[in-house]
């Protein structure tokens, strides 16, 4: 199979038939063998009914439905597990991503040998203050911390070699950082293509202002995991050891000063009257805690096999599955 298209969706009943017809037209024009995997992230409208109708009419359509809303990352991760195409395309279900971009994205994966190609919505129809400016700041910060330089890290329209999506896990809200996750997994040839940004035709955006806070926290998390996920002792142990040593040296200096005064016969102030005593004691305690955190992190990293499990209510369009 040439192409698999993964479409995560949440309450997008109006746009799904139009999106599928658009995808089918582009695939036919380019003679691609393909499948479309719709992942319903617990929609509360008629989205799943629409997906089932599409599956009944078109053999290339697949449907996966979550029992509840898990988020876009969960939908993408589950879609990645289900695909069979040599090139995997992701796009949003709201018609803001154009299927007309797919042939060129596929060409870049096939001929230019990119592992991943991310869309860049250079001209956007979003609000400049609430979306465009924060997006630019977010992309700049992500590029600086991760080393992956993209203008539009969070663009939903992306193309991947199949090996990439089968080698990574997308969890939490890490869909924003898939290029970073791919790079961490060893896929370094990451490209970018300017794509058309369509104005939203139906419904409203499903992401609120909380995405800015969540995005920043996820950026810190993915940066830390990328560097120290397999060796937490190198981070916590190093800082903890330095803090303990500095606290110990400060305490030793206070103790030495006390002994000097005692043996020299001069008046010696109480050690506990010095603020440095409490600073050194606190430093040693915190250093010990950080060291133990690194030690426990090493144990967890060596033994952890916890992969996220999402409760799928139904699958349609898959052989042997109702």
- Domain of 187, CATH number, reads 3.90.550.10
CB-based contacts of 276, cutoff 8 Å, min separation 6: 250, 253, 254
Q: For residues 283 and 250, what is the distance between their CA atoms, to the nearest angstrom?
A: 9
Is there a single domain that holds both residue 141 and residue 284?
A: no
Residue 153: both structure tokens together: 């890290």
Q: What pLDDT is stored for residue 92 in this prediction? A: 94
Is there a single domain that holds both residue 218 and residue 248?
A: no
In the listed set 198, 228, 258, which residue is the last one of a domain according to the structure?
Answer: 228
In the listed set 206, 228, 250, which residue is the last one of a domain according to the structure?
Answer: 228
Over range 195-210, report the average pLDDT.
Answer: 69
Please report whether residue 322 resides in a domain: no
DSSP per-residue string spanning 305-320:
-------EEEEESSTT
CB-based contacts of 76, cutoff 8 Å, min separation 6: 6, 8, 39, 90, 170, 175, 178
Which of 202-206, 253-257, 317-321 is predicted least confidently? 202-206
SS3 168: coil
Q: What pLDDT is stored for residue 146 in this prediction? A: 76
Please report whether residue 224 resides in a domain: yes
Please report whether residue 93 resides in a domain: yes
Is there a single domain that holds both residue 179 and residue 221?
A: yes
CB-based contacts of 183, cutoff 8 Å, min separation 6: 146, 147, 148, 190
Is there a single domain that holds both residue 62 and residue 194?
A: yes
Q: What pLDDT is stored for residue 58 in this prediction? A: 96
Is there a single domain that holds both residue 99 and residue 192?
A: yes
Q: For residues 122 and 233, what is the distance between their CA atoms, to the nearest angstrom?
A: 41
Q: What pLDDT is stored for residue 142 in this prediction? A: 78
pTM (predicted TM-score) = 0.74
Is there a single domain that holds both residue 84 and residue 7?
A: yes
Q: How many structural domains is the chain composed of?
A: 2
Q: Is the pLDDT of residue 227 over 80?
A: no
Per-residue confidence band for 163, with pLDDT thresholds at 50, 70 and 90: very high
Over range 178-194, report the average pLDDT.
Answer: 91
Is there a single domain that holds both residue 60 and residue 208?
A: yes
Q: Is the pLDDT of residue 289 over 90?
A: yes
Which of 145-159, 180-194, 289-303 is predicted least confidently? 289-303
Please report whether residue 245 resides in a domain: yes
Per-residue confidence band for 273, with pLDDT thresholds at 50, 70 and 90: confident
Average pLDDT, the chain: 86
- The parent domain of residue 47 ranges over 3-228
19 versus 318: which is more confidently predicted? 19
| Burial of 267: CB neighbours in 10 Å, binned 0-12, 13-18, 19+ | exposed
Please report whether residue 77 resides in a domain: yes
Is there a single domain that holds both residue 194 and residue 296?
A: no
Q: For residues 54 and 9, what is the distance between their CA atoms, to the nearest angstrom?
A: 14
Over range 221-228, report the average pLDDT.
Answer: 74
Q: What pLDDT is stored for residue 125 in this prediction? A: 63
Q: What pLDDT is stored for residue 22 in this prediction? A: 96
Which of 76-85, 183-192, 197-206, 285-294 is predicted least confidently? 197-206
DSSP per-residue string spanning 17-74:
HHHHHHHHHHHHHTT--EEEEEEE-S-SSSHHHHHHHHHHH-TTEEEEEESS---HHH
CB-based contacts of 111, cutoff 8 Å, min separation 6: none
Is there a single domain that holds both residue 214 and residue 81?
A: yes
Q: For residues 7 and 5, what is the distance between their CA atoms, to the nearest angstrom?
A: 6
Q: Rounded to whole angstroms, what are the CA distances from 42 to 95, 171, 194, 222, 280?
A: 19, 16, 31, 26, 53
Is there a single domain that holds both residue 107 and residue 248?
A: no
In the listed set 204, 228, 252, which residue is the last one of a domain according to the structure?
Answer: 228
Exposure letters 276-305 (e unless 16+ CB within 10 A, then b): ebeebeebbeebeebbebbeebbeeeeeee
CA 196-202-204 angle, to 5 degrees, is: 95
Please report whether residue 63 resides in a domain: yes
Per-residue confidence band for 199, with pLDDT thresholds at 50, 70 and 90: confident
Over range 144-153, report the average pLDDT.
Answer: 84
Is there a single domain that holds both residue 194 and residue 292?
A: no
Q: What pLDDT is stored for residue 211 in this prediction? A: 62
Please report whether residue 52 resides in a domain: yes
Q: Is the pLDDT of residue 286 over 90?
A: yes
Q: What pLDDT is stored for residue 87 in this prediction? A: 97
CA 135-138-140 angle, to 5 degrees, is: 110
CB 70 within 8 A of CB 41: yes
- pLDDT of 106-116, one tens digit each? 999 999 999 99
Is there a single domain that holds both residue 128 and residue 262?
A: no
- pLDDT of 70-126, one tens digit each? 999 999 999 999 999 999 999 999 999 999 999 999 999 999 999 999 999 887 665
Please report whether residue 312 resides in a domain: no
Q: What pLDDT is stored for residue 309 in this prediction? A: 59
Q: What pLDDT is stored for residue 130 in this prediction? A: 53
| Burial of 38: CB neighbours in 10 Å, binned 0-12, 13-18, 19+ | buried
SS (H, E, C) 99-156: HHHHHHHHHHHHCCCCCEEEEECCCCCCCHHHHHHHHHHHHHHHHHHHCCCCCCCCCC
- pLDDT of 25-68, one tens digit each? 999 999 999 999 999 999 999 999 999 999 999 999 999 999 99
Q: Is the pLDDT of residue 168 over 80?
A: yes
90 versus 154: which is more confidently predicted? 90
Over range 135-152, report the average pLDDT.
Answer: 80
């Amino acid at each position: 199979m040439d192409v698999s298209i993964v479409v995560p969706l949440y309450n997008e009943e109006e746009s799904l038939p139009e999106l599928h017809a658009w995808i089918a037209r582009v695939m036919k024009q380019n003679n691609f063998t393909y499948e479309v995997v719709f992942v319903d992230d617990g929609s509360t409208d008629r989205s799943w009914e629409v997906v089932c109708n599409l599956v009944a009419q078109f053999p290339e359509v697949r449907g996966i439905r979550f029992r509840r809303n898990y988020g876009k990352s969960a939908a993408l991760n589950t879609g990645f597990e289900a695909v069979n195409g040599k090139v995997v395309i992701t796009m949003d279900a709201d018609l803001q991503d154009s299927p007309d971009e797919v042939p060129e994205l596929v060409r870049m994966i096939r001929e230019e040998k990119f592992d991943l190609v991310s869309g860049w919505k250079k001209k956007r129809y979003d609000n400049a203050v609430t979306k465009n400016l924060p997006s630019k700041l977010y992309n700049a910060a992500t590029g600086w911390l991760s080393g992956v330089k993209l203008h539009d890290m969070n663009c939903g329209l992306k193309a991947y070699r199949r090996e990439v999506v089968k080698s990574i896990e997308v969890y939490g809200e890490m869909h924003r950082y898939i290029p970073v996750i791919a790079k961490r997994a060893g896929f370094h040839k990451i490209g970018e293509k300017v794509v058309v940004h369509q104005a939203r035709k139906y419904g409203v955006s499903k992401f609120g202002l909380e995405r800015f806070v969540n995005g920043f926290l996820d950026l810190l998390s993915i940066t830390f995991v990328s560097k120290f996920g397999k060796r937490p002792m190198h981070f916590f142990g190093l800082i903890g050891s330095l803090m303990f040593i500095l606290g110990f040296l400060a305490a030793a200096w206070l103790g030495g000063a006390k002994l000097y005064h005692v043996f020299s016969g001069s008046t010696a102030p109480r050690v506990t009257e010095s603020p440095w005593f409490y600073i050194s004691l606190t430093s040693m305690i915190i250093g010990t805690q950080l060291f133990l955190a690194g030690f426990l992190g090493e144990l967890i990293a060596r033994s952890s096999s916890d992969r996220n499990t999402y409760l799928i209510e139904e699958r349609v369009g898959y052989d042997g599955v109702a």
